[in-house]
Structure 1
Amino acid sequence: MHRFFRYSRQFKTSLSARFSKGTAKRRGLRQSHQCSSLDQLESRLLLSAGTVDPPAYQETFNDGLAQDFETQGSPSWSVNSGAYTVDTSGGLGWGISTVDFRGFLPVNYEMSAQVTSVFKSGSWLDGFLVFDTESANNFKYAGFYAGQNQWVVGEIVDGKEHRLAEVDWDSSGRDIQTNTSYTIHLSITGNRLELTVNGEAILATTFENSSQLNQGYVGLATRNGITRFDNFTVSDEVLSGRSFIPVRESFEDGFANNFTPTSPEFWSVVNTGTDSVYQSISSPSQPLSTSLIEISGTLSENFVLSASIKSLYNPSGAYDGFLIFDYETETNFKYAGFLAGQNQWVIGHFRGGFGSRIAEVDWDNSGKTIDINREYKLDVIVTGNQVKLRVDDDQVLFGSFLSESVLNQGRVGVMGYNARTEFDKVSVSAISDAGDEVETASDLGVLGDSIVIDDSLGEGSFGQADLVDIYRLELVIASNLHMHLRLNTASNPIPVIYARIYEDFNHNGALESFELAGTLNSQITSSIDEALPAGQYFIEVYIVATTDELNYSLYLSQDPLFFSIPDPGASIVSAYDFGVLDLAVQADNMLWGLDAVDTYSFELSSPSNVSISISETQTAIYARLYEDFNQNGVLDNSELAFNGQIYTGGGGGIGGLSGLIEEHLPKGRYFLQILSSTNFASHTNVNTTYLLAVSQTPVVVLPTDPGSTTGTARNLGTISSPVDVGDLIWGTDASDYYRFHISSSTQVTVSLYDMSEAVDGIIYKDVNGNGVLEYAERVGFPFLGTIDPGASRSFNADVGVYFIVLTSGSLYGNPYYHLNVSQNLASTIPLLSDSLFSEEELFDLI
């Protein structure tokens, strides 16, 4: 039977005793910034019957007791040699021991323990953490069956096992070992559970039949076996065993928040005038200068430690810089870096000096030098007991620490030795085999300045085909993402490896074709740049057929994008408004995926030649220019002034594309839409930035627009001397009609010139005087598709009334034109207004 500790002084005293038994017990248990000690943190559990803070509980069993635990089922639990041990071998079934936190656990909490399956012939080999436990026949569990080589999550309901999720290490050629301690970490969020082992994410699943998993007891269990447990921890956040949080430090805030120097007097953050860096200065009398990175969680067995390192001029000392790992003491750690004075890159084991080297290369042999006052980007890639040193993205060294199986037991950091050394852009991130589905994607976290991933595809040594790796990353602001893929395996013929960038727009966990943001393929190396908004992205690296193991490197970096205006909306209601277009205006923004249309508006106070320039795009994009003639708030095709691709090639910008639109437009309000597709798709695969510039130049037109019928035609009067007019055809004013009179037989010349776009023109003589222009009344050949330098039509005209009909020569055309009508090639007299003729004169001319 369980003891209930809620509001119990006995529980408070018991827990306080647990937390006061030594600092070793506190490692991996997060302290609240509100509390000065773990005792204070724990004591908050029982302060009130209202809101209860999350518990912070740890049991190390170092006192030989497990007094907060109550057993269910088998009583075969005991504390031996600082571990809590249960023996249910011989078919005794489940052995469960739990602590009662009912009423204290929040909906989201974490727990961990070190679990060791003890080998015994004929017994099962397993170990579990249990939670939401109601009884020995009703509980949930997560852990391993070593005999089946599986990590599992499931539940026991009325004594029957229901397995929810499993990962079989047979598929990856790995083994769950007996007599080996595994730190199992559970992260519970509502009804979702994530299982992590030794800092490696194993699986995640959801208990669909439960809304939350904090109602029952939590504890430990085995099944038909012998299992040892140690360092059992429950809290709102537990670091032990959890995947560690990647560290990225650029020191821009003037602090080295993630670092603990062993000799603080040697270390400082220095502003160089262009950057802030972490600087170490040590001397011949005290040459060793190390600073260790604070890691939240359990450092993965496979990780990358990176930094930009510069050795500064130091006449009284040495020139060097190192990344250090597996640090135990000041005289026992591993290192990788450079000795510029010796012109050497080295990997080794520091035991008070640099004598124990496992790999080195002397650049004297290749005619190269390690320069002082030059920044080098170093990546130390640790996989098990193997170490690669990469310098400026090129591998220079490789070595193995044969006496070690893993190199993640100590700490990581940076070091200078009797030197002045600067460190910048320091990062630590995990390497794990990326899964082939969104749910098992390798999480790269928030993308900082850059990251390099080394992995492989193909058929490994255990014959398992791995054709796809998927990575997840986050951009916190809009960025130009640079992706570089390099194949590191020499092969003949050279295989092809591919990469794609997706954003899971609909959050359905599937990477679909319409969510594709970019793609590349590589036989040796290739790169792409994609302009992307803030959000979560997935990168799929894949091959199309099984082959021998292919090693590849994926380089990712980003340059933040900053825009001068908020994102324009897609409709006229949310358009970005330039207002009255008097002076030239500019705006920059981007098109991407779901944001496939940007809409702008502007107003012309007089007829103008409008110039619209598009530049700095990475791909072809499109534009549509409208006037909302009917004021219905809908941009109709009948209102289009321009529709088409807007780049012509050449120009500047990231992609080298630019374009120019020029349109002659009357006074009015206009809407410009910039699109990544010709069909107003709600989403596209196009991602591009652009720079938009809009300007206008006023044009002179007739004070009264020519009519669009014979009855409203502009009357040029009797042609006795040349007449010249200019006007604009646009939108709803789709045609201009001109009328003139010939008083005696003569030769007439009609000319079109200075046109901005093609103009069609037809000349008629209203022979029967009915005001209807008939095909049989056409005079001479029509003007069709005429554009600058223009064209003329001359014909012999007898007495009568003539009409000239002008229309746009192209779809969506808005031509500005000049029309000249003359007889016998006399000098030109421009017709500026109707005032040249009185009403009587106009009547007489007719």
Structure 2
Amino acid sequence: MFKFEEELNDEIIFFQGSYRREGLLVPGVFEHNIYTFGLNDRQDVDISVTPNGGRINLEFYRDSNNNRILDTEDELIERSSQGGTEVLDLQLSEGIYFVHVGIGEVTSSRNELVYELEIDNLNNDNFAPDLFKENTNNYVIESSQYNREGLLIPGLFEQEIYRFELTSREDVRINVSPNGGNVELNLYRDDNSNFRLDTEDNLIGRNHKNGSKGLNKTLAKGTFFVHVGLREVNRNRDDLVYDIDVNIGDNNEPVTLFPNNSTNFFLGGVSVSGSSSSSSSSSDPLFTENTRTFNVLFRDGEYTNTNILIPNESEHDIYTFQLEEERNIDISVSPSNGTLELELYEDTNNNGILDRSDELLDRSNTSGDQSFNRRLQEGTYFVHVGLSGVNNDVEQVDYQLTINSNPSLEMSTLSEDTITSSFSNDNNPLLNQELGQDISTLNSLVGFNQINF
């Protein structure tokens, strides 16, 4: 249950490691103010509250159950209620925290209590600058279907940021319809997990076209920001009004993981003799727009492909391959001009389509080269290369994908000494003397099946 039934909640957005806020407490109306913030590593934090018109209670909690709500399960770390300015000096680890400012006592001649809250992060060097520092409003999306009418005014409110969190992979659809001008629509991922949009966060989608605009993305678990920015206001207007809709899908039916802006590469089947076998399917084509399909065969156990990803045009490349026996698979991707997501799936429902019922076996989403190694059983697999971010000065990301396959078990070759010992007359009386001594003849009788990938 909640700690305080009547409360005012505010989310702290640090600017260069500091936060300042003037608060108001009114008996019977607003008696508890709660401030929430997150840290992505160990930090020293100083908190001070200076009241005017009474005494306050200052408490500091850790979000022990990670539900972003101050409730009875959360741990009280420290409190102060001495009168005058209340101060807490804290050494905190990574996590989410709550600052509670509550009414202690109001001066008899007053009907309210005003206070100033200051929170200083002493490790200021670890804080990246905010991406939009001025004229910015921040909102939190807490439902799977979110709608709001926004207002942008030149010089006053020019940026609005909407934050949402995903606990699993979801399809997200964002639409913005401006009235009275033009806006830009951007989608960012909270790469440093500090719950604020800063210069370290990656741009993963954008739409700057005139008129209504949208973004359709399949996003993994994490925190994301939708940015709506003012570009221009019509001459006869002083402001711009817009509607924003954010829909987070929740469909249990298998659907294509990457339905738009995707490219499919079919690597063919692999047999022990090295020949390929194609896998047919009666399913309709999954990707009908912006799609390229390739039948690619492994050569000497290796496949290499160089390609490009372009925002809003080709953002996902999917490579399909089959194994007819257990193999060791090495997968690596080397991007330039941006950041990629590399994933490996198993076609668990055997329909030859990458959909939600398929199992994610491995995932990497870091800057620079990425790779992983897996031992895979017989079956069909998908390699997904997705666009995560593009450098500011370019329009596309070039990359090279390499997939190597090797037998899962090394085959040993019998030496001539072993053959002579094993097949000599003494140990094998049924063999004649000539066969036991003729190593070349014996080698010709022992067969080795060479597996070609």
Higher RCO, Cα 8 Å, sep 6+? 2
Same-fold call, TM > 0.5?
no
Q: Which has the larger radius of gyration?
A: 1
Give the TM-score normalised by structure 2: 0.40
